[in-house]
A and B are shown apart, each in its own frame.
Chain A
Amino acid sequence: MSLFNCISNQCPLGSNFGSSNKLGSFGAVPQLGGAQRRDKSRNSRSITAYYGLKSPPYKLDALEPYMSQKTLEVHWGVHHRGYVEALNKHLAKKDVLYGYTMDELIKVTYSNGNPWPEFNSAAQVWNHDFFWESMQPGGGEMPTLGLLQQIEKDFGSFINFREKFVEAAITSFGSCWVWLVLKREKRCLAIVKTSNAINPLVWNDIPITGLDVWEHAYYLDFKNDRAKYINTFMDHLISWEAAAARMARAQSFVNLGEPKIPVA
C-alpha cells in the first residue's frame, strides 16, 4: 500500500500536481518527498522511492523569444528528464539513501567535497527545478522593496550587483552555475560560481536565484555568445518575484535585522 500518490511525469501544460508548497525547500520541491511503492514481487519487501520530473511554471514557449521553446524542450525534456531518471536509477540501487529529502540528499551525497556518483544526478535535478522557477515570462527589470534594499546594502547598488553577476557568469570556465545566495553565517548576499552540479546548498547557504551557464543552456539560441545569453537572462528572464519569495522565506532562518553590537 503506498503512502503517497505515485507521481510520475507531468503534463507540461498542467498545473504542478501534488506540489502544494512551492517554497517547501529553498527553491524547488521535486515532489512531496518522493513516492513509496512496496515491491510485493520480491521476498525482501524492499521499498523504492523515486522523483518525478516537475514541469516549469510556464509553458515551454512562454519564454520566447528570449529562450526558445526548442531549448526548453531539449534542456527540460531531455537533459533535466535524464537527470531525474538517472537519480531514480541510483536510488533504486542504494537503500541507504532512502528517506532523505532532496536537500538532505544533496548534502549527504556531496560528502563534504568527495561527491558520490548520485550527487551529480540529485544536484542537477534540484538545480534545474530551481532554474526554471528563477525565470518567468516578462522577467527582468529590477527587484523591489526588501530584496532591493538588501542588494543595495551588500553590493552598493543594483547596477553594481548586475555587473558583478554578469562578470561572474562570463568568466566562469566550462560547465558552471552562477548563484545569488544569502550567506547564512555572514548574513549577507553574495554571488557564487560553482562548477558542474555543485550548488550553494552544500555549504548550507540559501540560494536566491541562479543561472545555468553550461553550454547546453544557451547553445541552441546563442551559439557561443555566452555574454548575450547572460544579458538576456538579466534583462528579460530573471524572476525577481521568485527571488523575493525565496528571500522572504530565507529571513525566517537568517536574522538580517540584528544590529551589529560593537564589543567594547
Chain B
Amino acid sequence: MALRTLIARNPLRAAAPAASRGLQTFSLPDLSYDYGELEPAISAEIMQLHHQKHHQTYITNYNKALEQLDAAAAKGDASTVVKLQSAIKFNGGGHVNHSIFWKNLAPVRAGGGEPPHGSLHKAIDSNFGSFEALIQKMNAEGAAVQGSGWVWLGLDKEFKRLVVETTGNQASVVVLILHSTPSVSLSSQDPLVTKGASLVPLLGIDVWEHAYYLQYKNVRPDYLKNIWNVINWKYASEVFDKESA
C-alpha cells in the first residue's frame, strides 16, 4: 500500500502555519492509488521515487525559500527577495506541476486510459481534428522538449480553445559564478500559466528524465506512447467543464 497520511488536504493550499507570522507551509499530497497500480506504463519504482523523493524535495525547498523570503521581506532586504525568486519559481513550480500530474494519472481500474466523453471530447475534436491527432501532437512535442520539461494540454480561457504547450529548458540560459550566489531563471518547472495568463492546465506529462529513465532509459517516445494507458481523462474533463462554464 502506498503511504497515506491521515488528514486529507488540498496540497496546493498550505497545511500548517510555521512561524509566528503565520507563514503557511506545504506538504506532500497523497496519491489516490498505490505506486504499483500504474504498471506496466510506469513502474512502481519510478512512482515511489518520483513522489517520495523528487516531489518531496521540491516541497522542502519551496518551504525553505518561502521562509527565507518571509524573513527578507520583513527586514526590507530587497536584494535577497529578488535573489530568491528563481528558487521559488523552480521549486514552487515543481510542486504545482507534480500535484497536478498525480491527478492526471489513474490506474486502469479507476478509468485510467479511457478517452474523454462529453464536452471535452467535442472540444478536442474541434481543436485538433481527432483524439488521435491530439495524442500524436502531444507525443511529438513532448519528445521534442530538449532537456527537462513538461508537455501540457491546456484550456485557454480567454480564447475558449484547447492548446498544447511545452515548458522546458531554454537553450539561451546560463549562469556565471565567480564569487557570488547565482541568480537564474530556468523554465523547466514553470507552471503552464507562465506561457499565458489565461491558460489552465488540464493534463500535464512530465518529461524530465527522472519521470521515465529507470524504465525506458532514453527512449522517451515509448514512455509517451504508454502513459496514455493511465491518463485520467475524468479529471481533465472535470477541470475543463468547471473552467469553461
Q: State A168–B86 Cα separation when bound (angstroms).
A: 14
| Interface mask (B33-55 → A, CB under 8 Å = 1, otherwise 0) | 00000000000000001000110
Given contacts A168-B177, A220-B214, whether A174 and B171 have CB atoms under 8 Å apart is no
Interface membership of A82, Cβ < 8 A: yes
Interface of A: prevailing SS: mixed
Interchain CB contact under 8 A, A174 and B49? no
Interface membership of B173, Cβ < 8 A: yes
Q: State A215–B169 Cα separation when bound (angstroms).
A: 13
Interface membership of B57, Cβ < 8 A: yes
Interchain CB contact under 8 A, B186 and A173? yes
* Chain B: CB-nearest residue to A160: B179
Interchain CB contact under 8 A, A119 and B171? yes
* Chain A: CB-nearest residue to B174: A194
Q: State A35–B62 Cα separation when bound (angstroms).
A: 51
* Chain B: CB-nearest residue to A217: B209
Smallest Cβ distance from B223 to chain A, in angstroms?
13
Smallest Cβ distance from A202 to chain B, in angstroms?
9
Interface size in chain A (residues, C-beta < 8 A): 32
Among B90, B174, B184, B208, which residue has the most Cβ atoms of chain A within 10 A? B174
Interchain CB contact under 8 A, B49 and A220? no
Interchain CB contact under 8 A, B209 and A219? yes
Interchain CB contact under 8 A, B169 and A191? no
Could you say which residues of chain A place their CB within 8 Å of the CB of B217?
A: 74, 78, 216
Interchain CB contact under 8 A, A219 and B214? yes
Interchain CB contact under 8 A, B188 and A174? yes
Could you say which residues of chain A place their CB within 8 Å of the CB of B157?
A: none
Smallest Cβ distance from A195 to chain B, in angstroms?
5
Q: State A220–B54 Cα separation when bound (angstroms).
A: 15
Interchain CB contact under 8 A, B186 and A224? no
Interface membership of A254, Cβ < 8 A: no
Interface membership of A201, Cβ < 8 A: no
Given contacts A168-B177, A191-B177, whether A224 and B146 have CB atoms under 8 Å apart is no
Interchain CB contact under 8 A, A214 and B218? no
* Interfacial residues of chain B within 157-207, with CB under 8 A of chain A in the complex: 169-178, 182, 184, 186, 188-189
Given contacts A192-B174, A195-B169, A224-B54, whether A174 and B218 have CB atoms under 8 Å apart is no
Can you add 5 more A-B contacts, CB < 8 Å, to A82-B218, A219-B209?
Answer: A191-B178, A195-B169, A215-B210, A216-B213, A224-B210
Q: Which residues of B contact A (CB under 8 A)?
A: 49, 53-54, 57, 86, 90, 146-149, 169-178, 182, 184, 186, 188-189, 208-210, 213-214, 217-218
Can you list 5 A-B contacts (CB < 8 A)?
Answer: A193-B182, A196-B171, A215-B209, A216-B218, A223-B214
